[in-house]
Structure formats: structure tokens, C-alpha cells
Amino acid sequence: MTTFLTFTILGLVLGSVYAIAASGLVLTYNTSGIFNFAHGAQAMLGTFLYWQLTYGWGWPMWLSLVVVVGVVGPAMGAILHALIMKGLRDTADVTKIVVTVAILLGMLYLSQWIWHPEEARIMEMFFGSGAKIEFAGVVIRVHEIICLVVAAAIAVGLRLLFTRSRVGVVMRGAVDDPDLLRRCGHNPDRVAALSWAMGSTLAVLAGVLITPIGGGALEANALTLLVIDAFAAAMFGRLRSIPRTFVGAMVLGMTATYVMAYFPTDWTWSGNFRVSLPMIILFVVLIVLPQDRLRGAAIRTRERYRVPTVRKAAVWGAVLVAVVFLLTLLMEETSVTTFALGMTFAIIALSLTVLTGYAGELNLAPLSFGAVATIVAFHFGVSGTGLAARLTLWGILLAVLVTAVVGGLVALPALRLRGLYLALATMAFGVFLSTMVLRDTVEHTLFGRTFSIFPNGTLIVPPLKIGPLDLRDPETFLLTATALFSLIAVGLVALRGSGYGRRLAAMKDSPAAAAMLGQNLVKLKFGVFMISAAIAGLGGVLMASASGSVAGENFAVMASLGLVMLTVVGGIGYISGALFGGLMSGVGFTIMVGTFNDLAAATPAMETIYKSLGQLAMVATALIGMGVGKNPSGTVHDIIEGYRSLRKARPVLIGGAVAEAVLYVLTLTGVIGNWWFAILSACLGMMLPVFGKMIMPEAVLSEEELARRRSTPLELEGIDEPYTEELRRRLDRELGLPSGVDRAPRVPAPRAAEEGDVHVVA
Amino acid sequence: MSLLETRGITVRFGGNTAVDDVSIGVDEGRITGLIGPNGAGKTTLFNTVTGLQKPASGRVLLDGADITRLAPARRAHLGMARTFQRLELFLSLSVRDNVRVAGDILRANTRHRVDVDKETDRVLSRTGLGDIAHLEMSDVPTGRARVVEVARALMTSPRVLLLDEPASGQTEQETEDFAGLLAGLAAEGLAICLVEHDLPLVMKLCSTIHVLDYGAVIASGTPKEIQESPEVIAAYIGTEEVTA
């Protein structure tokens, strides 16, 4: 009985911290319409800062608390709102989600930069773990009492805020109709800023409270994923109701402690199960939630994508393969291997192009589906042993098939609901897979078979062999992966141009209208999610095989988030956006950080600077991601628009091609190094549209742009120069007035003026 | 019995009764008007009839069959189509593809086999959209965009068409062409229900008009009867004067 009571109280304590975190999440979501994936990251950053002040610099506890919870928390929220969130109005849900994901990653990279992740940091409970009281045989620590009291105070406080205060009532209206609020004399921006400040403070508070409960070890990733626990709790209230969110948090907290108390400890997966519990509960809640009401979209979002024809896509696919072939002639074998790895990431990114770019749904854990396929291929798709081991074609096909089915099953509960739920469900699946499946490294026996899903924590995945095509050679691997990328890409473009693709676009643009035309939305989403999961699976197996051996971390949800973010940065509606996102997240940043580390090792005097630059590069990626709000169509879109304008400027294009060819030949003959080739090519590619505008403005610029450049706009004529007859004739011409006819009197007639004078004199 | 009927439909939002015990019918080959001040519950009634909104009580009947519990897509398969007051067009598709995708949806979701391309051309020329078919949807002005919504609805070969303020944002000429189109469609046997603020248009086209105020039907009848009804003048035109 005492055990039961003890664990019930522990559960309530854990639940109260979840409740604090979750209520902050619900608060910001309801006042700004943005679901903050960085909520846990904010908690993490605040907690690390608290640790730094109290343990690093020895400040008194109360002072650190005041600074972190009272100043940094609200300031962080207000700054986020002012700099980023405010600019997200009129963007698609996908853009909103990706921006907060970018903030999450940015905060994570930042914390890893400041606080080295391999150092151990411990946070004590408030008043120490020795401070406790005993009640009916149950020991409760003071820290735990604080958690309960704080949560209760917040519950009461929020209740009063929303029901009794004017600001609270305005907050409830803010997301439904900001324009109406404005007309009623309120400022929706100020309300949103306030809610972001409050939400961020609650996150920080939850982080500071939860760390000592969980053993006291401060760990950036774990705290960042607090957002999932908070989300699972918030699901009980459909992300709307704060009282129900509190109930959900308590259920979550108590289930977790009961599992700890009553599950047999000799089950190897009990520990993993407890960690995965929020994700499991989340899926259960998803299944029982009633279907969303369809609402009209009625917002004109800013994202725009051009769709190429299949023929054009095929030509570009062939060009890509040719370019990659030419590049392999320049590269060393290790670079080819790295490049090949990047190309497999690009294939995984294609799964996002079809799902997000075409259908408007989001998968935040594409690599986890890659993991599923890799596990299947490892167990059932390898023939031969040792160096002769090869992946078989049938193995890959089986892996892809299984992944598609798993994808369908994961997505199904969320498909009846809005896109946000699917995004969260996939992220939860990713974390679940990492904490439960990929940690299943010890052998156990089930139904008379001894196995482990992820033996010893590493899977050795051999290269693929289909008939005479053996991918052992890195160059063959790279070219095959590139050709495969191009093939899938052309397939996707063909899909987009078909009736199926049009139906996806219809669903993305207006689910309500698509449904009213007779489209079964769940069926369509289900199908496209399976296609997407299958592509991610294929890319995942190839990725594993390109690496040779993979560990659980290769499929971590943070890596998935990076891939999603960079693909959106590149342009989620474009094939080339997937190429950009895949190459950058797969290898681009590894190369950048690696290069800086090499430089640091080579020049010890500059070590700190180079190392910082490497870290800065990581944070910079996240900054680019946050910029998606400003440019939601992606980088590729801008480049394509730039080159579209060059269509008529043949000489510029030919000149560019010749310059690039010269660079290539110079590199091939060893006159310039590969790095110079890469840098100069990038410069050339970026600058060509600019050159075009400078050299051949008539061919490149649009009519309006040219007219604007040629002359001062009509309404500004005569302001900074004397007003001449010539100008007047031009005005007449532009206004379509009959020329030559001298119209009505120019100035008040002289006679009238005279009369006036006379009058005054008289 | 009318082709489309509502029987005692009531919709509540919290404590507000948005639609209060409404029973109306929409007949084949006729245009039925639904008018009333802003906030009278016209769009909510449309949403309930099309399945986007669940009623607190009441039933919706299509050709005598109870469809109150059916999903919007199922209603579409049974021959119901609508347009939206706040345009719900597919902005990443061209005008032609906006219309064509309705045929794609029909083919993929029902056993109905149409030649989508041919049908698209027919509907585009019928609705007079041929000249802008190649444009991107985001470049089409509101007045024509409303016609695109009607064309898209026609692609599903509906039996009953619900139009939510289709003439708002149209120029005088566009409205006139539009009136001709609607009259022609009704003459071919389509049942049309028209929510519209352009009263002269409603009076010209409709054979029956229902007036909604605070969620309830306060008058029904021919245009002439409606124009002379003292309740309508008091409630409808009266409130307009007050707010103006």
C-alpha cells in the first residue's frame, strides 16, 4: 500500500511538471495558432542557463531562479514572437511547423556549443534531496511538494486569467479572428506576445523542476523532447482545454511511475517501455479522438511552386547524372563515398517532396522509416557472409513494402485530424522507434525464437548486388544512387501532373472543397503517406548500405528534423529542393564542421576560432531554417526564378556554361584544387542571374522593371527638376489626353487675380 | 416532395442558436432563393446540408433518403455540389485544372466513368471560361473566380447545386452573364439553391424565396409575396436601415 501511495504521489509530481509544460504549449498554440515544437528546447536552454548560474558561477539559488524564470523566460518568448512568429501569418501550416523546428534545432546546437554535451552536469533538488517530510509512511521531498504547489497555482492562475480577466478573454479570441479583435480596439499582436512570454516562462519553469526529478542529470536532447510529453498531455484537451490538459498530464505522470513500480525489472525492455510511454499514450489518444470538423482554408498562403513537365524533368535528371559522373572524375574515393551518402539522403528527402510539397502533409521522422526498412533488409535481405555479403533486390523490395505498411499504420490514427497531428504523430513515432526499437540490442526469446531487433546496437548493411550490377565500388554506388534519384524524381513529376497529383494539390489547397467534390480525404492521405514512407525506406536502406554500418543515432529524430528543415529551406515543392536538403543535411554540414576541425588541428594557434566557426555553421543552418517564414517557397524557387529571367539572354547563359567548363578542365588538369572549383562554381551559379541583369537588361528584366528603370515614375516627375513643356506633353500622352490642344487655363486667369486685387484695394 | 429537403434543422454554437428549426425544400428545375441579413445563418445552413457542420437536431433528405449522417464526400457522390462564400479554389492549379480535378476526383472515388478532358472542355465553354482557362488561379479576379467555382461544381454532374453568394465581387456585366447561366442550368433540370445579397438578382431568378433572420425562416413565397411581406420589410430591410 505504501508503495502504491508513494508511486501515486511521484506520479502526481511528474504529472504536475508535465502539466506546467503542456499548459504553456496550449497557451501559445491557442493565442497565435502556432504549435511550438521548440517548447522543449526553450525549457532546455533555460535549464542549462539556470545550471550555469547556480552551479557554474555559484549564484544563490533564488537569484538564478529570478533571472531565469522571471527575466530570461519571458524575454525569450517575447523575442521569438517579435522576430519570428509575428511574420508567420499567411503561411502554410508546414512553414509554421518547420520554423519552430528550426528554432528547436538552433537552440539545441547553441546549447551544445556553449555546454559541451559530453560533460556531466547534475542538478540537485531544491533544498536538497534530503529535505523531506513523512506522512502516513510515505516520504515526500520538499522539491516534490514545490512541484505540486506550483502546478496547482498555475492551474488556478490560468483559470482566473481566462475566465475573469479581460486579457484572458481577448487571448481566447486572438487565434479565431485577429481582425475582429483589431476592430474591437485590441491589439492581437500584443496579446500574442504576452502569451509567448508566458508560454516560454512555463517551459523554463518545467525544465528547472523536472531535471532533478529524473535523476538530476542535465541532458539537452532529453529536455528538448519534453515537447512530446507536453503534447501527449495536451492531446487530452485537444490542444484547447487547459483543465483537460492537466488531467492528461496526471494520467501520463502516474502511468509512467506505475510502470516503473510494477513492471518486472527482468524484462529487458521495461526501461525502454517507460521512456516510450508518452509516445504510446499519444497514439492511443489519437485513435480515440473524434474526427476534426472540416473548415475552409480561406487564407491565401504565400507559398508558390512551379511544376515542370515530365519531359523537362527527364532532361534535367539526365543532366544530373552526367554532372555527377563528371564530378566523380575529380574526386578522391573518400569524397565519392561521402557524396554517395548525401545522394541517399536526397532520395529520403524526395519522400518529403511528394508528401509535403504535393499533398501538404508533414512527416517529421523520415529517417525513422528508413530505419524500419534497414532493419527489415538487415534481417531478411542479405545473402552471403563476410566480404561476400550482399543486399539482394528482393530484400530491398521487401523492406520497402514493409515500410510502406508501417507508414500507413503510423499515419492512420492521425489522418482523420489536421496536418499538425500527423506531424506530431510521426515525430512521436520517431522518438518511440529510437527509444524502444533501436535500443532493442539484447537477445531475447519470443515464441521459441531468439532474436534482437537491433543486435549489439550496430547493423552492418552490405552493398546491393542486382545481377551484374555490384554496388561495392563507390563510383558505381554514387552513379546508381543518382540515377535512382533522377528516376524517382521523374516519377514524382509525372505523378504531380496526373489526375492523382491534381487531387493531392486540391486536398492541400482546400480540404473542404476537395471533400465537397467527393474526395475521400483519409484514403488519399493514407495512399500518399504510404508512397512517401516507401521512398523514405528505399533511401534509408541505401543510406545504411552507403555508410556500411549504422547505429541507432543515425536515425535519431533530431537528424530527421534537420533533413526536413533543410528540404523546406531548399524548396519543398521542388525536386531540386530535395536534392539540396538531402545533400546538405546528409553530408554538407558534416563536411563543413569536419573541415573546420581539420583546420583547427592543423593550426593550433587558431584552434578556438576554427572550432567556433564550425559550431557557428551548425547554428547558422538553423537560422536559415527560421528564415523560411520570410521566404516560404524556398531557395530553389528564387534560383529558378532568377534563371527563368535569363531565358532570353542566350549569350549570358552560354558564357556561364563556357566559364564553368573552363573551371572544370582546369580542375581536371590539376591547375586549381577541388575546393576552388566548388567555391568558384557556386559563385558563378549564384552570380549569373545578377550578371545577366547588368549585361543584358533588355533581355532579362520584365517590361515593368525596365520601364521603371528607364524613367522616373510619372507621379514623381517635376519634383527634383524644373517642370518643362516636354514633361507636360509626356504627362498628357500617358494620361491619354488629346495632344496639341491647349486645354483650359493653366493658372487662375489673370483677370480674376486682378479683380481680386482690385477688391482688396477697394 | 422536393429533391433536397431540410426538416427542422437546428444548429447551436455554444449558447447561440445559429439555425433554428429550418425546414425548406429545393426543387428540380428551379432556383430557390435564401436571403437574410448577415449572420442570419445562411452559410451555417449550407454547411449543415453539405455535411461540414453537424446539426443539433433535424434531418437532411436528398431524393427522400436521409443523408444527415453522411460525410461530405458521400453527399457529393449522391449529386450534391456547392460553392463557397469565401472562395475555396485550388490556388496551386490553373483554372482548367481547378475544373478538371473535380472530374479526376469523381473518377477515382466513384464508379462514374467520364472522359475528364472532354467534360472539362464542355464545362469550360458552357460557363464561358475558355478565355482564362490557361491562367493560374491566383491571377483570376474574384468575379471570374466565382464562376470557376460553379464550373468546378458542375464537373461532378450534380443534381442539386448550392451557391453561396456567387455574385459578390462580380461586375454588372459578369452578374448578367451569370444570371443567364443559372437560368439555363435550371431549365435543364438542375435544382439550385441560391444565397445572395444582390436582391434584384434573386428576385429575377428565383421561383421561391425563403427569408432567414436570427436563424429562423420568417417568410417564404414568390418574389412578389416576399417583397410585399411586412415581416420581411420589418426584419430584413428594417435592420439594414438601422445598421446603416
Give yes or no: residues A218 and A356 share one domain: no
CA A354 to the chain's CA centroid: 16
Q: Do A503 and B105 touch (CB under 8 A)?
A: yes
Q: In chain A, whose CA is at the least distance from the CA of B162? A: A516
Gyration radius of chain B's alpha carbons? 18
- Check CB contact of B88 with chain A, cutoff 8 Å: yes
Evaluate if residue A467 carries a pLDDT over 60.
Answer: yes
Share of chain B above pLDDT 70, in %: 96
Among B88, B106, B116, the residue with its CB nearest the CB of A512 is B88
Give yes or no: residues A240 and A325 share one domain: no
Average pLDDT over residues B40-67: 92
- CA A172 – CA A170 distance, rounded (Å): 5
Structure confidence at residue A264 as a pLDDT band (50, 70, 90) = confident
Ranges of beta strands (E only) in A352-419 are 382-383, 390-391
Task: Among A221, A250, A279, give the residue marking a domain's end.
Answer: A250
Average pLDDT over residues A464-471: 85
Query: What distances in angstroms separate CA B157 from CA A221, B112, B160, B165, one per listed residue?
Result: 55, 10, 9, 21
Q: Let me know the angle formed at the C-alpha of A544 by A542 and A548, rounded to the nearest 5 degrees.
A: 115
Ranges of beta strands (E only) in A324-479 are 382-383, 390-391, 444-446, 449-451, 458-460, 465-466, 469-470
Evaluate if residue A759 carries a pLDDT over 60.
Answer: no
Give yes or no: residues A56 and A134 share one domain: yes
- CA A94 – CA B74 distance, rounded (Å): 29
Give yes or no: residues A636 and A737 share one domain: no
CB atoms < 10 A from the CB of A447, how many? 5
CB atoms < 10 A from the CB of A168, how many? 17
Looking at mean pLDDT, say which of A505-514, A580-589, A710-719, B12-21 comes out highest.
A505-514
CB atoms < 10 A from the CB of A44, how many? 30
- Does residue A228 belong to any structural domain of this protein? yes
Tell me the three cell numbers of residue A760.
482688396
Computed from CA positions of residues A257, A261, A265, A269, in that sequence, does the dihedral angle turn out positive or negative?
A: negative
- CA B174 – CA B178 distance, rounded (Å): 6
The residue whose grid cell reads 515464441 is A447
How near does any CA of chain B get to the CA of A702, in Å? 17
Q: Residue B237: its pLDDT value, please?
A: 58
Evaluate if residue A623 carries a pLDDT over 90.
Answer: no
Tell me the three cell numbers of residue A557.
529524430
CB atoms < 10 A from the CB of B147, how many? 22
Give yes or no: residues A236 and A331 share one domain: no
Q: In chain B, whose CA is at the least distance from the CA of A520? A: B73
- CA A42 – CA A109 distance, rounded (Å): 12
- Does residue A454 belong to any structural domain of this protein? yes
- CA A133 – CA A153 distance, rounded (Å): 21
**Residue A640 host element (H or E):** helix A635-644
Structure letter (DSSP) for residue B94: B
Q: In chain B, whose CA is at the least distance from the CA of A503? A: B101
Q: How do strand B160-164 and strand B80-82 relate by DSSP bridges?
A: parallel
Which spans in A236-332 are helix H? 242-262, 270-288, 310-330
Q: Do B101 and A521 touch (CB under 8 A)?
A: no
Q: Residue A757: its pLDDT value, please?
A: 41
Question: Among residues B144, B147, B92, B107, which one has the least CA distance to residue B123?
Answer: B147
- Residue A637 belongs to domain spanning: 320-644
Interface of B with A in 54-83 (CB under 8 A): 54, 71-73, 76-77, 81-82
- CA A556 – CA A220 distance, rounded (Å): 14
Q: Residue A287: its pLDDT value, please?
A: 83
Query: What distances in angstroms separate CA B66 from CA A294, A371, A701, B112, one per listed residue?
Result: 21, 48, 60, 22
Among B86, B102, B155, the residue with its CB nearest the CB of A298 is B86
Sort out which chain A residues have CB atoms less than 8 A from B76's CB and list them. 515-518
Give yes or no: residues A364 and A473 share one domain: yes
Does domain B1-79+159-244 correspond to CATH entry 3.40.50.300? yes
Q: Is residue A359 helix, strand or coil?
A: coil
Q: Residue A173: its pLDDT value, please?
A: 67
Among B88, B97, B104, the residue with its CB nearest the CB of A296 is B88
Evaluate if residue A317 carries a pLDDT over 80.
Answer: yes
Q: Do A512 and B156 touch (CB under 8 A)?
A: no
- CA A201 – CA A71 distance, rounded (Å): 9
User: Are A30 and A241 in contact, with CB atoms under 8 Å apart?
Assistant: no
Among B76, B104, B156, the residue with its CB nearest the CB of A503 is B104
Task: Among A616, A644, A672, give the residue marking a domain's end.
Answer: A644
How near does any CA of chain A get to the CA of B99, in Å? 10
Q: How do strand B31-35 and strand B191-195 relate by DSSP bridges?
A: parallel
How near does any CA of chain B get to the CA of A701, in Å? 20
- Check CB contact of B108 with chain A, cutoff 8 Å: yes
Determine the residue type at A542. Answer: L
Structural domain count, chain A: 3
How near does any CA of chain B get to the CA of A131, in Å? 49
Q: Residue A266: its pLDDT value, please?
A: 63
Q: What is the DSSP annotation of A543-610?
A: HHHHHSEEEGGGG-HHHHHHHHHHHHHHHTTSHHHHHHHHHIIIIIHHHHHHHHHHHHHH-GGGHHHH
Residue predicted with more confidence, A184 or A493: A493
Evaluate if residue A468 carries a pLDDT over 50.
Answer: yes
Q: In chain A, whose CA is at the least distance from the CA of B154? A: A517
- CA A526 – CA A521 distance, rounded (Å): 8
- Check CB contact of B111 with chain A, cutoff 8 Å: no
**Residue A354 host element (H or E):** none
Q: Let me know the angle formed at the C-alpha of B142 by B130 and B215, rounded to the nearest 5 degrees.
A: 120
- CA A592 – CA A615 distance, rounded (Å): 10
Sort out which chain A residues have CB atoms less than 8 A from B39's CB and list them. none
- Check CB contact of B142 with chain A, cutoff 8 Å: no
- Does residue A623 belong to any structural domain of this protein? yes
- Check CB contact of B100 with chain A, cutoff 8 Å: yes
Gyration radius of chain A's alpha carbons? 31
- Does residue A9 belong to any structural domain of this protein? no
- CA A105 – CA A619 distance, rounded (Å): 8
Q: Do A505 and B76 touch (CB under 8 A)?
A: no
- CA A726 – CA A299 distance, rounded (Å): 47
**CB contact set of A391 (below 8 Å; sequence gap of 6+):** A377, A381, A382, A461, A462, A463, A464, A465, A541, A545
Evaluate if residue B73 carries a pLDDT over 80.
Answer: yes
Q: Is residue A72 helix, strand or coil?
A: helix
Determine the residue type at A180. Answer: L
Largest CA distance in chain B: 53
- CA A415 – CA A528 distance, rounded (Å): 11
Structure confidence at residue A710 as a pLDDT band (50, 70, 90) = low
- Does residue A302 belong to any structural domain of this protein? no
Residue burial A543-575, b: 16+ Cβ < 10 Å; e: rest = bbbbbeebebebbbbbbbbbbbbbbbbbbbbbb
Tell me the three cell numbers of residue A175.
487565434
Residue burial B97-111, b: 16+ Cβ < 10 Å; e: rest = bbbbbbbbbbbebee
- Check CB contact of B197 with chain A, cutoff 8 Å: no
User: Are A410 and A552 in contact, with CB atoms under 8 Å apart?
Assistant: no
How near does any CA of chain B get to the CA of A517, in Å? 6
User: How many interface pairs between A and B have CB atoms less than 8 angstroms apart?
Assistant: 106
Among B93, B100, B105, the residue with its CB nearest the CB of A519 is B105
- Does residue A551 belong to any structural domain of this protein? yes
How near does any CA of chain A get to the CA of B106, in Å? 7
- Check CB contact of B49 with chain A, cutoff 8 Å: no
Q: Do B73 and A297 touch (CB under 8 A)?
A: no
Q: Residue A711: its pLDDT value, please?
A: 62
Q: Do A506 and B93 touch (CB under 8 A)?
A: yes
Tell me the three cell numbers of residue A413.
490514427
User: Are A561 and A105 in contact, with CB atoms under 8 Å apart?
Assistant: yes
User: Are A228 and A19 in contact, with CB atoms under 8 Å apart?
Assistant: no
Sort out which chain B residues have CB atoms less than 8 A from A517's CB and list them. 76, 81, 101-102, 105-106, 152-153, 155-156
CA A436 to the chain's CA centroid: 23
Looking at mean pLDDT, say which of A72-76, A125-129, A719-723, A742-746 comes out highest.
A72-76
- Does residue A113 belong to any structural domain of this protein? yes
Sort out which chain A residues have CB atoms less than 8 A from B54's CB and list them. 293
Residue predicted with more confidence, A386 or A486: A486
- Does residue A710 belong to any structural domain of this protein? no
How near does any CA of chain A get to the CA of B185, in Å? 19
**CB contact set of A45 (below 8 Å; sequence gap of 6+):** A76, A107, A110, A111, A204
pLDDT tens digit sequence for B98-148: 999 999 999 999 888 889 999 999 999 999 999 999 998 888 998 999 999
Structure confidence at residue B38 as a pLDDT band (50, 70, 90) = confident
Sort out which chain B residues have CB atoms less than 8 A from A515's CB and list them. 52, 71-73, 76
- Check CB contact of B148 with chain A, cutoff 8 Å: no
pLDDT tens digit sequence for A35-49: 999 999 999 999 999
Q: Do A509 and B90 touch (CB under 8 A)?
A: yes
Structure confidence at residue A753 as a pLDDT band (50, 70, 90) = very low
Share of chain A above pLDDT 70, in %: 90
Average pLDDT over residues A21-38: 90
Task: Among A208, A231, A250, give the residue marking a domain's end.
Answer: A250
User: Are B32 and B25 in contact, with CB atoms under 8 Å apart?
Assistant: yes
**Residue A443 host element (H or E):** none
Residue predicted with more confidence, A263 or A157: A157
Q: Residue B86: its pLDDT value, please?
A: 86
User: Are A277 and A229 in contact, with CB atoms under 8 Å apart?
Assistant: no
Q: Do B84 and A513 touch (CB under 8 A)?
A: yes
Tell me the three cell numbers of residue A733.
500622352
Helices and strands of chain A, counted as H and E runs: 33, 10
β-bridge mates for residue B33, sequence order: B194, B209
Q: Do A515 and B100 touch (CB under 8 A)?
A: no
A324 by Cβ neighbours in 10 Å (0-12 / 13-18 / 19+) ranks as buried
Residue A391 phi, psi dihedral angles, 5° rounding: -75, 140
Looking at mean pLDDT, say which of A87-96, A382-391, A602-611, B197-206 comes out highest.
B197-206
pLDDT tens digit sequence for A328-370: 988 888 889 889 999 999 999 999 999 999 999 999 999 999 9
Q: Do A294 and B72 touch (CB under 8 A)?
A: yes
Share of chain A above pLDDT 90, in %: 37
